[in-house]
Amino acid sequence: MAGPAHVPVLLDRVVSLLAPALDRADRDRTVLVDCTLGLGGHTEAVLSRIDRAHVVGIDRDPQALELATSRLAPYGERFTGVHAVYDEIAEVLEELGLPHVDGVLFDLGVSSMQLDVRERGFAYAEDAPLDMRMDGSQGITAAEVLNTYDAGDLTRILREYGEEKFARKIAAAVVRERAKEPFTTSARLVELLYAEIPAPARRTGGHPAKRTFQALRMEVNDELAVLRRALPAAVDAIGVGGRVVVESYHSLEDRMVKQAFTAATRSDVPEDLPFVPEGHEPALRLVTRGSEKATPEEIEENPRAASVRLRAVERVREGGVAA
C-alpha cells in the first residue's frame, strides 16, 4: 500500500494566524490543540517554526494518529497525541492538566490519508468497501446507511449534507437496488449515480459521486453534531490572547462556524444602548474579515483547497459565553 500524500491547505496562512497567540515573548511555553491532526502537516509546521509551541494533537482515527505520532517523533515532548473525537476538547485538556490553551485549530472534512488509502472507502475513484468511518472501530458504516435508512432519511442526508439536487431520485434508486442485493462496495454505488443523475448535470460540478459520498461520510461520522459541540468548547478553552482558527470545506460547516464566532464576538448589552459599559465589551474579536479563500495559485497546486473557508477569532478578555 502506497503511503498517502499530504498537502496541508493554506498552511502558511494558518501558521501566520496562530503565530501571535503561540509565539509570545511573555511565555516560555505555549500550547496549540490541533483538533484534526490527520497526518500532522499543520502541527509539524507550527512546531518547526515556533520554538516555544507545544501541540496536543487530537484525532479519532487511530491509523492517522499512529502515522502522525511517528512523523512528529523528532519534536519529542513538544507533541502529545490523543485518540479522541474533537468535541471532547474539555475532557482532553482536563486529563492533561491544562486549564486553558493558546490556540485551537480545526481543519475539517476528510483527511488526505483517508481519501488516498483505498481500503478506507472514502474515495469514489476506486472500488472499495463502503466504510467511511474515521474511527473504524466503532459506529455504522456507509454500507449500513445505504442498506437500512428509509428513502426519506436518505433523501434528507443527500440534500442537506451533499446539496444533491437529485437526492429523492437517488434515494429511490438505492432502496430499489438494495432489495435485489445489499450495497457493499463503492463501484456499484457510483454506477447507480451515473445512471440516476442526468447527463447534463454530470458534466458540471465535478464527479457525480462527489456529493453523495460527502453526504454519507458526514452522516457516518456525525460531523455536524460534533462540530456544533466542539466550537463553543474551543472558544472556552483559549485564554486571553488565544486564537481559534477553523478551515471548513462545506457550506453548512462554514455557516455553523460563522454563527458561533458571531455570537462569541457580540456584546451582551442591548443593541439600542448608545455605548458599551466597561466590562461588557465582547470577550472575543474576529481576526479574519468574513471567510478567507485559497488563491488560484494554491488551488492549482492543491485542488482540495478549492472549497476552503478560513475563519479565526481571538480572546481579548476573560469571560463571555460561547453560543
- Decide if 124 is inside a domain: no
207 labeled part of a ligand binding site: no
Contacts 24+ apart (CB under 8 A), 123-128: 123/186, 123/213, 124/186, 124/189, 124/190, 124/207, 124/209, 124/210, 124/213, 125/207, 126/186, 127/185, 127/186, 127/187, 128/185, 128/186
174 vs 218: CA distance, rounded Å? 18
CATH number at residue 63: 3.40.50.150
The domain boundary residue, chosen from 162, 188, 220? 220
pTM: 0.86
Q: Looking at the structure, do residues 150 and 216 belong to the same domain, yes or no?
A: yes
Residue 136: predicted pLDDT: 75
139 labeled part of a ligand binding site: no
- Set of cell numbers at residue 177: 437496488
Q: Looking at the structure, do residues 259 and 305 belong to the same domain, yes or no?
A: yes
- Set of cell numbers at residue 216: 454519507
59 labeled part of a ligand binding site: yes
Residue 101: predicted pLDDT: 98
Convert the pLDDT of each residue in 201-260 to its tens digit: 777 766 788 899 999 999 999 999 999 999 999 999 999 999 999 999 989 999 999 999
Domain range enclosing 159: 135-220
23 labeled part of a ligand binding site: no
Which residues in the chain land under pLDDT 50?
1-5, 112-116, 118-122, 321-323
Convert the pLDDT of each residue in 155-170 to its tens digit: 999 999 999 999 999 9
The domain boundary residue, chosen from 220, 247, 276? 220
Residue 121: predicted pLDDT: 46
Residue 124: predicted pLDDT: 58
268 labeled part of a ligand binding site: no
124 labeled part of a ligand binding site: no
- Which burial class, exposed, middle or buried, applies to 76 when counting CB atoms under 10 A from its CB (0-12, 13-18, 19+)? exposed
26 labeled part of a ligand binding site: no
